[in-house]
Amino acid sequence: MPTVDEVTAALAKVLDPEINRPITDLGMVDSVDVRSDGTVRVQVLLTTPGCPLKDKINADVTAAVSALPGVTAVQVGLGIMNEDQLGNLKSQLRGGRPEKTIPFSRPDSLTRVYAIASGKGGVGKSSITVNLAAAMAADGLAVGVVDADIYGHSIPGMLGTSDRPTRVSDMIMPPQAYGVKVISIGMFTENNQPVVWRGPMLHRALQQFLADVYWGDLDVLLLDLPPGTGDMAISVAQLVPTAEIVVVTTPQQAAAEVAERAGAISTQTHQRVVGVIENMSGLPCPHCGELLDVFGSGGGRRVAEGLTRLLGTDVAVLAEIPIDPRLRAGADAGRPLVITDPDAPASKQLRAVASRLGQRSRGLVGRPLTLTPVG
């Protein structure tokens, strides 16, 4: 029968598919058990639940151990690393260097962070993010936007900037447009090349956007999330647990049902849902002014009511934004409607939301008050 050391030596030839290092070096081999009948049981710890490459790891471990003389069967158990084990792995990968901190996750941060989320694509989430940011900046706030939709990045174009970030030492200086600091993966790719990354790379990109970019003292940071409740939504909750969620939907029943799921993720991430924005809530008739319900009606209200019941706290409808072709045209041209026509009905709704979110009081938890007691 092979010894435990021999099995471990064979496992050292198995590389993690994403990190490209031996799983033994990464602490992923939790235990090895060699039984008298030639059965070898290997317990492997994955770095994340639902690892998309777990089948490959399973197959590679099985192949490596099966090649040893005397092995009659291989049983691979898959577990998940705990927080301490993940911490040790991250420290090892950084070569012992301290991890950069994310200023917005510090307890003394006064920056209000809003994750703009939607259940499905095509509801105008990015257009709303850009117009909210531009409206807040026009009101005198220091605003930043992270284009966290790595696969479908569009924020720079909607803000009308093609500038590239500038690197100063180990910091990245973000470009600005309409007084808004912005960072996007699109600023690092050429010729509209697609980004083909798995979950860990998405997490690392967001981490770099938050920690490596020099944002300065922001009043508000907006995160334009991809549709759904996937990797990026989870990463935001991990990296900036104080981020609050704004859900965007259309009046359509199908969109509202999916949008409610996007807000319901807060039950697992323990984030606060600020409210719901209903976009494309109606098209004003150019002849009589009557509002035409092109995509139905009441979707935003249904999402807010559903989340209120689910979360046990009041979730408000922040705005019902009418359809305005100029909103779409402005996004294509890189000219936010709240800037080009601040008195348009859609602009008024967006500016009201921007004012409401921008003026919310920032918490003082963990912030030193620099008070000197009087004797």
What homologous superfamily does CATH list for 103-358?
Answer: P-loop containing nucleotide triphosphate hydrolases (3.40.50.300)
157-179 residue pLDDT tens: 999 999 888 776 567 888 999 99
**Residue 375 has what pLDDT?**
47
CATH architecture designation of domain 4-93: 2-Layer Sandwich (3.30)
Cα angle 274-280-282, degrees, rounded to a multiple of 5: 120
Q: Who contacts 56 (Cβ-Cβ below 8 Å, separation ≥6)?
A: 17
Q: What is the pLDDT averaged over residues 105-120? A: 90
Neighbour-count burial of 58, counting CB atoms closer than 10 A to its CB (0-12 exposed, 13-18 middle, 19+ buried)? middle
Q: In the chain, which residues fall in CATH 3.30.300.130?
A: 4-93
Q: State how far Cα 233 lies from the chain centre.
A: 4
Q: Is the pLDDT of residue 20 over 50?
A: yes
CA distance 33 to 80: 19
**Residue 202 has what pLDDT?**
86
Q: What is the pLDDT averaged over residues 18-40? A: 90
Q: Is the pLDDT of residue 294 over 60?
A: yes
End-to-end CA distance of the chain: 78
Q: At what angle do helices 125-138 and 345-358 cross, to 10 degrees?
A: 70
Q: What is the pLDDT averaged over residues 202-206? A: 89
Other C-beta atoms closer than 10 Å to the C-beta of 246 total: 25
Of 120-134, 142-156, 274-288, 340-354, which range is least confident? 274-288
Q: What is the pLDDT averaged over residues 106-110? A: 87
Of 120-124, 197-201, 253-257, 299-303, which range is least confident? 197-201
**CA neighbor of 345 nearest in space, from 284, 262, 273:** 284
56-90 residue pLDDT tens: 999 999 999 999 999 999 999 999 988 888 878 87
**Residue 273 has what pLDDT?**
94
CA distance 354 to 131: 9
Contact 308, 276 (CB under 8 A): no
Residue that wins the pLDDT comparison between 353 and 103 = 353
CA distance 115 to 113: 7
How much of the chain exceeds pLDDT 90, in percent? 55
Other C-beta atoms closer than 10 Å to the C-beta of 138 total: 18
Q: In the chain, which residues fall in CATH 3.40.50.300?
A: 103-358
Of 14-28, 53-67, 210-224, which range is least confident? 14-28
- Calculate the average pLDDT of the chain: 87
**Residue 370 has what pLDDT?**
46
**Residue 337 has what pLDDT?**
97
**Residue 232 has what pLDDT?**
87
Residue that wins the pLDDT comparison between 372 and 75 = 75
CA distance 322 to 330: 15
